[in-house]
Amino acid sequence: MGGSNQRIKLSKTEEYKTINVKEEISDIVVMKYGHTVISTTNGKIEIYNPKYFNLFTSKQFQTSRINTICEVHNNYLAIGSDDNTIKILNILEKEKIETVQTLNEHKYPIIQILFLSNGQICSLDLDNNIILYKKKLNGYVFNGKLRKGFFSYSSIFQVNEDEIICSSTNEGIKFWSMNYSVQDYKIKGIRIEDYKDIYKIKNILLNPGKNVFCNVNKEIVGGLGLDCIYLINIIRHDVEKKINFENVFFSCIITLSDGTFLLSQNDIINFSNRTIVQYKTNDNGDKWDIMSKKEFKESDEIKFIVQANNNTVITGKKFQFDVWKQGDNDD
């Protein structure tokens, strides 16, 4: 697991604060150079300064909804929208956001974009099409399309150098094994017997389920069920264990740099009570111990958790995001 397993107290200081947004947030990304970027359902991109999290620049980019954003090569940003396009933006210059390329291969709204470790862009749309783009001198070009089969995909995640995993809305998950040199895309599917959906679907268009997978260790990926976590063995391509939780349902999960995990949990009895919980697991991932937690009473669902740096975490709701750091108390 690595790291020192430091406890995140979710404590605010003067520099770490709540930021309100006028339009509903659709995604949050922290760029390598530190700036926090948010997209909104009304097509806006906003960039926040990494030191004090004040607004750096804002642009009403388009009239269609932006569903997902992802940092790509050299601090460029890819945005996936309801207009079926992926736009590559240059956001490096102050007070300027410009489109450098538009990718038009999708015929349906894009709900998730990944930047793969081999430098390709991998994108998923509402018709279950997964398209790959590779980098050329003059931009990104089409590099293959994964066959969708009979599954309805809700989330994609890269598990190792050669595979991505797809959650679906019916009876299982699939691994795509890719040989990048010859574009040989092969698929392996597994079923979960009591599987309803590895991610809680409310409306796939409104919440595409970006953060439903996390790396537990080199062999295990954790996938969120409704009220459980599936430990998926990526070597054997099967479910190793199911970890059950009581009276909660999950929104998202991330692995922190020290190997611990942050989960957004929702009270299944009082749906407006939300909790961010930090867990530490054993090496096998089959025991999840609570290190710390922060409760939000009468709160909107926490849809995003992003690590900004080693001791800073961003949590996002519909119209605001909170910036937290390690501290001595929970107030």
| Residue-level pLDDT at 73 | 77
Distance (Å, whole) CA 252 – CA 212: 5
| Model pLDDT for residues 70-86, shown as the tens digit of each residue | 999 778 999 999 999 99
Mean pLDDT of the residues in the chain: 82
List the alpha helices (DSSP H) in 196-326.
Answer: none
More confident residue, 197 or 263: 263
What are the structure tokens assigned to 155, written together?
């989330």
| Model pLDDT for residues 206-223, shown as the tens digit of each residue | 344 578 899 999 999 998
Distance (Å, whole) CA 331 – CA 329: 6
Q: Is the pLDDT of residue 68 over 80?
A: yes
Distance (Å, whole) CA 69 – CA 81: 9
In sequence order, the 6+-apart residues with CB closer than 8 A to the CB of 47 are: 35, 36, 37, 55, 56, 57, 58, 91, 97
Provide the percentage of residues in the chain whose pLDDT is more than 70.
82
Question: What structural domains and CATH numbers belong to the chain?
Answer: 18-325 (2.130.10.10)
How many DSSP H helices and E strands does the chain contain? Answer: 0, 28
Enter the pTM of the model: 0.88
Given a contact cutoff of 8 angstroms between Cβ atoms, the answer to whether 211 and 304 are in contact is yes
Closest CA to 110 of 188, 26, 36: 26
Closest CA to 158 of 207, 203, 120, 103: 120
Given a contact cutoff of 8 angstroms between Cβ atoms, the answer to whether 307 and 257 are in contact is yes
| Class of residue 63 by CB neighbours under 10 A (exposed 0-12, middle 13-18, buried 19+) | exposed
Model confidence at 293, pLDDT cuts 50, 70, 90, reads: confident
| Residue-level pLDDT at 17 | 86
Provide the percentage of residues in the chain whose pLDDT is more than 90.
35
Q: Is the pLDDT of residue 18 over 70?
A: yes
Model confidence at 188, pLDDT cuts 50, 70, 90, reads: low
Q: Is the pLDDT of residue 282 over 80?
A: yes
Q: Is the pLDDT of residue 177 over 80?
A: no
Closest CA to 104 of 153, 142, 69: 142
| Residue-level pLDDT at 175 | 80
Give the amino acid at 176.
W
- How many residues does this entry show for the chain? 331
| Residue-level pLDDT at 24 | 94
| Residue-level pLDDT at 170 | 58
Give the amino acid at 38.
I
| Residue-level pLDDT at 182 | 46
245 dihedral zone (left: phi>0; alpha: psi -120 to 50; beta) = beta
Q: Is the pLDDT of residue 201 over 50?
A: no
For residues 95-111, average pLDDT: 90
Q: Are strands 55-60 and 66-72 parallel, antiparallel or unpaired?
A: unpaired
Q: What are phi and psi of 18, to 5 degrees?
A: -95, 130
> Which of 85-89, 219-223, 230-234, 325-329 is predicted least confidently?
325-329
What distances in angstroms separate CA 272 from CA 136, 204, 269, 299, one per listed residue? 47, 21, 9, 5
What are the structure tokens assigned to 256, written together?
């922190």
Model confidence at 56, pLDDT cuts 50, 70, 90, reads: confident
Q: Is the pLDDT of residue 12 over 80?
A: no
What are the structure tokens assigned to 30, written together?
């922290």
